[in-house]
């Protein structure tokens, strides 16, 4: 009962922070907003063979306000509803305050603070989390065509029902962008990220010998990422962008826990795998209102300390032996390819003034995920339709 009350108190505090920042938002000099609504279908929507033929609706609302020349505040709200598997639906809210455009000669400095809340269906409430983050960013212009950007992001994420999952994520990055007269742009960057799990303690002993000790510490994760982006204009209407990226785990043993349900394990995140990835995007702008995008991506993921367990598809559950999962003796490896085609119809003001700032996006695609874990070995087609309003 005390734990439940403590969690309710923490939730109330988070809501009060949201209300306070939202009130500040409404007091700004300039107010901007946008709404995004999508509906879609996929053979394996959640990236697992265990959830077939699901559809979704995704609704988002964003509002930002310019408080002064240097300060901006914003709020983002979204809800992701899955059918007929409503238990995987979720809602998220984020509010933030940003200091921007603090210019000193050729330098620009940015700083911000934000808070988020994420809530799942009661059946999967152990994924519920809240976070508090801060960031600092610096931009330096050697000239109009040469830019260096660097910064640090810190995010503290708390899982109320899974305290062992609570962690602090820190990222330090630097990027360099160079534009050429040939209408070519090159961007290179590196990022060093660290994920530290919060220590869990318990009381041991009695009386004067009572002491607090840390139990089952989870190792930190250290991740190094390098990237290259090449953009090239192929004419007045055609553009090509190529991304190359690779990430490497610098720790020999990573933090992980046994899967809860084999679907959206929160511990199998960006700090759980290493490998290369590529992406190629071709954009054709037919006219002011119409554009078409064709993209292909590939990623090769070698997971660290994420074992593959025997699974009984008929019973739709993991195989147990002496009340333990049956480890097949190797870690998960995935190779994922995706092809997507989209058509965007935007700037509808020519049709009607009240439709100004509206975008309609139709997307179809195919994902092939080859994995040594049968749960994640699948091919999936996807379709979606989105409509966005921006003031």
What does DSSP assign to residue 121? -
Q: 3-class DSSP state for residue 206?
A: coil
pLDDT for 203 equals 58
pLDDT for 262 equals 44
pLDDT for 14 equals 57
pLDDT for 24 equals 56
Taking the C-alpha atoms of residue 91 and residue 120, their distance in angstroms, rounded to an integer, is 7
pLDDT for 125 equals 83
| pLDDT at residue 391 greater than cutoff 70 | yes
The model's confidence at residue 102, banded by pLDDT at 50, 70 and 90, is low
Nearest alpha carbon to residue 92 among 79, 82, 83: 79
Q: 3-class DSSP state for residue 266?
A: coil
pLDDT for 383 equals 97
What is the DSSP code string of 55-78?
EEEEEEEEEEEE-SSSEEEEEEEE
CA distances from residue 169 to 97, 172, 194, 253, 301 in whole angstroms, order as listed: 20, 10, 6, 17, 21
Three-state secondary structure along 168-205?
Answer: EEEEEEEEEEEECCCCEEEEEEEEEEEEEECCCEEEEC
Taking the C-alpha atoms of residue 234 and residue 161, their distance in angstroms, rounded to an integer, is 52
Lowest mean pLDDT of 4-18, 169-183, 317-331, name the range. 4-18
The model's confidence at residue 304, banded by pLDDT at 50, 70 and 90, is confident
CA distances from residue 165 to 59, 69, 195, 344 in whole angstroms, order as listed: 28, 39, 11, 40
Taking the C-alpha atoms of residue 263 and residue 265, their distance in angstroms, rounded to an integer, is 6
| pLDDT at residue 258 greater than cutoff 50 | no
Record the tokens describing residue 31, joined without a space: 């107010």
Record the tokens describing residue 277, joined without a space: 């990835």
Record the tokens describing residue 327, joined without a space: 């480890």
Nearest alpha carbon to residue 143 among 179, 109, 187: 179
Contact 40, 24 (CB under 8 A): no
**Under CATH, to which class is 2-390 assigned?**
mainly beta
Taking the C-alpha atoms of residue 10 and residue 223, their distance in angstroms, rounded to an integer, is 31
Torsion angle, CA of 110/241/378/257, rounded to 10 degrees? -30
Contact 43, 379 (CB under 8 A): yes
| pLDDT at residue 68 greater than cutoff 60 | yes
Name the most confidently modeled range: 7-16, 34-43, 341-350.
Answer: 34-43
317 CB contacts (<8 Å, ≥6 apart)? 311
Element (H, E) at 4: helix 2-26
Lowest mean pLDDT of 75-84, 216-225, 233-242, name the range. 216-225
Tell me phi and psi for residue 66, to 5 degrees. -90, 110
Average pLDDT, the chain: 84
| pLDDT at residue 215 greater than cutoff 80 | no
What does DSSP assign to residue 217? P
Name the most confidently modeled range: 21-35, 193-207, 368-382.
Answer: 368-382
pLDDT digits (tens, 9 = 90+) for 4-37: 455 555 555 655 555 555 555 555 557 788 999 9
The model's confidence at residue 264, banded by pLDDT at 50, 70 and 90, is very low
Q: 3-class DSSP state for residue 381?
A: strand
pLDDT for 180 equals 92
pLDDT for 82 equals 93
Nearest alpha carbon to residue 376 among 336, 340, 329: 336
Taking the C-alpha atoms of residue 375 and residue 50, their distance in angstroms, rounded to an integer, is 7
The model's confidence at residue 256, banded by pLDDT at 50, 70 and 90, is low
How open is the CA angle 177-192-223, to the nearest 5 degrees? 125
Lowest mean pLDDT of 8-22, 66-80, 152-166, 168-182, name the range. 8-22
Record the tokens describing residue 382, joined without a space: 């996807």
pLDDT for 166 equals 87
Taking the C-alpha atoms of residue 271 and residue 258, their distance in angstroms, rounded to an integer, is 16
pLDDT for 352 equals 57
Higher-confidence residue of 11 and 377: namely: 377
What does DSSP assign to residue 21? H
Element (H, E) at 116: strand 107-120
pLDDT for 360 equals 93
The model's confidence at residue 184, banded by pLDDT at 50, 70 and 90, is very high
Can you tell me the mean pLDDT for 96-107?
79
| pLDDT at residue 1 greater than cutoff 50 | no
| pLDDT at residue 231 greater than cutoff 90 | yes
Side-chain-side CA neighbours of 164 within 13 Å: the count stands at 12
| pLDDT at residue 158 greater than cutoff 80 | yes
């Amino acid at each position: 009962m005390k734990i439940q009350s403590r969690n309710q108190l923490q939730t109330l505090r988070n809501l009060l922070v949201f209300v306070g920042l939202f009130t500040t938002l409404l007091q700004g000099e300039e107010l901007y907003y946008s709404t995004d609504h999508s509906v879609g279908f996929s053979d394996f929507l959640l990236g697992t063979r265990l959830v077939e033929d699901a559809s979704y609706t995704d609704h988002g609302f964003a509002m930002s306000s310019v408080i002064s020349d240097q300060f901006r505040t914003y709020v983002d709200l979204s809800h992701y509803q899955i059918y007929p598997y409503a238990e995987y639906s979720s809602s998220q809210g984020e509010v933030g305050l940003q200091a921007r455009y603090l210019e000193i000669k050729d330098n620009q400095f940015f700083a911000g603070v934000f808070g988020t809340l994420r809530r799942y269906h009661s059946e999967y409430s152990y994924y519920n989390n809240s976070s508090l983050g801060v960031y600092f960013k610096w931009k330096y212009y050697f000239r109009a065509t040469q830019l260096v950007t660097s910064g640090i992001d810190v995010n503290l994420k708390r899982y109320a029902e899974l305290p062992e999952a609570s962690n602090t994520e820190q990222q330090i990055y630097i990027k360099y962008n160079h534009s050429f007269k040939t209408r070519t742009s090159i961007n290179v960057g590196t990022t060093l990220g660290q994920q530290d799990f919060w220590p869990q303690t318990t009381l041991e002993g009695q009386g004067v010998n009572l002491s607090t000790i840390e139990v089952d510490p989870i190792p930190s994760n250290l991740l190094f990422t390098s990237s290259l982006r090449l953009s090239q204009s192929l004419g007045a209407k055609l553009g090509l962008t190529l991304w190359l990226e690779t990430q490497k785990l610098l720790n020999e043993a990573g933090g992980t826990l046994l899967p809860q349900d084999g679907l959206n394990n929160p511990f199998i995140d960006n700090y759980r795998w290493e490998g290369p990835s590529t992406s190629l995007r071709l954009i054709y702008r037919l006219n002011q209102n119409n554009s078409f995008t064709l993209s292909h991506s590939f990623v090769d993921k070698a997971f660290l300390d994420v074992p593959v367990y025997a699974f009984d598809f008929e019973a739709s559950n993991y195989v147990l032996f002496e009340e333990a999962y049956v480890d097949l003796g190797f870690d998960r490896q995935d190779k994922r390819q995706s092809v997507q085609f989209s058509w965007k119809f935007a700037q509808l003001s020519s049709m009607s003034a009240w439709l100004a700032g509206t975008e309609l996006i139709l997307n179809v695609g195919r994902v092939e995920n080859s994995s040594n874990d049968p749960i994640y070995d699948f091919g999936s087609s996807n379709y979606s339709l989105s409509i966005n309003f921006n003031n």
